[in-house]
Amino acid sequence: MRRVILTFWCAATLFLGAATTAHANREADDLRRQIESQKAAVVDFERLDAQRAVPDEVTLLRAWLDEASNLHTEKEFDKVREVLDRCVAQAELLRQKIAAAKDKARLAEREAALKKSKEKVEHTRQAIQQAQVNKRAMELNAK
């Protein structure tokens, strides 16, 4: 009986140890995938940033991802998670700043178009006034 209990206890300990190791490996793999996907997103941010509005923030994100990669190599997974949380927040900041820069560029285009339209209207208004003056002058000369 004692031998059966001892065997069961040893088997349970081995199973639990193997499960813990498998969980740690799975967690390490998940963190590595997150780092790689964030690095791929950096390239997208650089492509989306046509106005060059956030080059410093992109550089900072790239540095943090390198730090996360180094921490992952050192198997400091808690610190890797902290750095990845910072990276996620930085990525959201980049998305918002890039969107704001695009909106600002669109606003500048629309304001330029509006200015051009106002100038055209003013030019047309002046031409109409000049035509009216010319018409009156012709009418007075005709009398």
Q: Which residue segment(s) compose the domain that 61 sits in? A: 36-142
What is the tally of structural domains in the chain? 1
pLDDT tens readout for residues 79-106:
999 999 999 999 999 999 999 999 999 9
pLDDT higher than threshold 60 for residue 16:
no
pLDDT tens readout for residues 29-81:
999 999 999 999 999 999 988 889 999 999 999 999 999 999 999 999 999 99
pLDDT over 70, % of the chain: 83
124 within some domain:
yes
3 within some domain:
no
What CA–CA distance (Å, rounded) separates 14 from 93? 46
119 within some domain:
yes
Helix 77-142, helix 55-73: angle, nearest 10 = 170
pTM of the entire predicted model? 0.70
Helix (H, G, I), strand (E, B) or coil at 61: helix
pLDDT higher than threshold 90 for residue 142:
no
89 within some domain:
yes
